[in-house]
């Protein structure tokens, strides 16, 4: 029977990794957030190093005190953003929901915690002209052939960076023009890609055949035949986007945002876009409808004589 906060967190993280199949990065974030909570509990209950704070000692007052402390800009040398604060509260809510379902706590006191109001930021994306400029750039070197294939696939499918670097050769079907990817929570989905991406990827295969000395199953490899790492792709995208656009954020996710926005601009059904992006909730996809609405408002103000 789990009785201490530390034991509860340990079992919760095991549950996320096992049953829920959360990514390592997500689990690390949960662990860091909840470690801060255990340190707060130790201090609050005057526990020495190595002593455990008991779950029976945790109530609504303790949880609210913790949130108040991490919300106080003067309690730490580093002020938390509202987004980071929301993530920490979400970690607490998830933990205590799990503990309550397992019967380790009598009541889920964290359910009453409220999130700070976070102003919604609309995602940045490329215009259709900027995409044409990006994909029309001359790619003549071996490295540039890789760039071209990656950019075309990002824009053609809207997949995430993690999904691209973990794409396996056997999960690319050129005949049907689809790829099989594993998104958040290892959820599998099939995503179609277009003729331009197909052409760029087939051109890259000639380079891959030379580089793949280790017989890797990964589709995209570096010059040494090793799996691509995120920072390498991020640097490459940032370099190429800098040539065609002045947007402040230049990351692979910008191509994902551009993919979704341009689909909706051209009349795609939002539920279909949701499935293509691998979103769990339609509300996550709806942020892209705000982008199209903002563009309509801008066009109206520019064109209507009484706007």
Report yes or no: 147 and 175 within 8 Å, Cβ to Cβ: no
What is the residue whose two structure tokens read 């009349």?
267
Question: Per the residue annotation, which of 42, 208, 256, 262 is the catalytic one?
Answer: 256
What is the residue whose two structure tokens read 């408002």?
297
| CB-based burial label for 227 (10 Å; 0-12, 13-18, 19+) | middle
Q: In 3-state terms, what secondary structure has residue 89?
A: helix
Distance CA 185, CA 44 (A): 35
Tell me if residue 20 is catalytic: no
Read off the tokens for 251.
Answer: 């990351």
Question: Per the residue annotation, which of 15, 97, 184, 226 is the catalytic one?
Answer: 184
Question: Per the residue annotation, which of 30, 125, 155, 288 is the catalytic one?
Answer: 288
Tell me if residue 184 is catalytic: yes
| CB-based burial label for 91 (10 Å; 0-12, 13-18, 19+) | buried
Report yes or no: 184 and 284 within 8 Å, Cβ to Cβ: no
Question: Per the residue annotation, which of 15, 93, 168, 279 is the catalytic one?
Answer: 279
Tell me if residue 288 is catalytic: yes
Tell me if residue 300 is catalytic: no
Tell me if residue 256 is catalytic: yes
Question: Per the residue annotation, which of 160, 208, 257, 274 is the catalytic one?
Answer: 160
Question: Per the residue annotation, which of 139, 148, 253, 257 is the catalytic one?
Answer: 253
For the annotated catalytic residues, the residue numbers are 160, 184, 253, 256, 279, 288
């Amino acid at each position: 029977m789990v009785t201490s906060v530390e034991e509860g967190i340990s079992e919760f993280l095991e549950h996320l990794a096992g049953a829920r199949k959360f990514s390592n990065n997500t689990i690390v974030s949960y662990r860091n957030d909840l470690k801060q909570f255990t340190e707060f509990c130790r201090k609050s209950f005057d526990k020495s190093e190595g002593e455990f704070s008991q779950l029976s000692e945790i109530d609504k007052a303790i949880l609210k005190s913790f949130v108040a402390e991490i919300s106080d800009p003067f309690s730490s040398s580093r002020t938390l953003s509202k987004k980071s604060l929301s993530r920490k509260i979400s970690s607490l809510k998830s933990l205590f929901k799990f503990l309550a379902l397992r019967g380790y706590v009598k009541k889920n006191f964290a359910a009453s915690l409220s999130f700070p109001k976070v102003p919604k930021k609309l995602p940045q994306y490329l215009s259709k002209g900027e995409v044409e400029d990006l994909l029309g750039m001359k790619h003549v070197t071996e490295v540039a052939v890789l760039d071209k294939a990656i950019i075309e696939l990002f824009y053609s499918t809207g997949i995430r960076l993690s999904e691209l670097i973990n794409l396996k050769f056997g999960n690319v079907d050129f005949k049907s023009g689809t790829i099989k990817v594993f998104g958040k929570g290892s959820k599998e989905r099939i995503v179609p890609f277009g003729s331009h991406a197909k052409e760029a990827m087939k051109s890259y295969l000639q380079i891959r055949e030379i580089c793949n000395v280790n017989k890797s199953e990964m589709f995209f490899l570096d010059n040494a035949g090793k799996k691509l790492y995120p920072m390498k792709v991020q640097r490459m995208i940032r370099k190429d986007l800098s040539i065609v656009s002045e947007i402040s954020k230049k990351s692979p996710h910008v191509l994902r945002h551009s993919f979704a926005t341009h689909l909706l601009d051209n009349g795609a059904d939002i539920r279909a876009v949701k499935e293509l992006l691998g979103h769990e909730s339609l509300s996550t996809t709806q942020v892209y409808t705000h982008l199209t609405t903002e563009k309509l408002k801008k066009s109206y103000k520019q064109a209507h004589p009484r706007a």
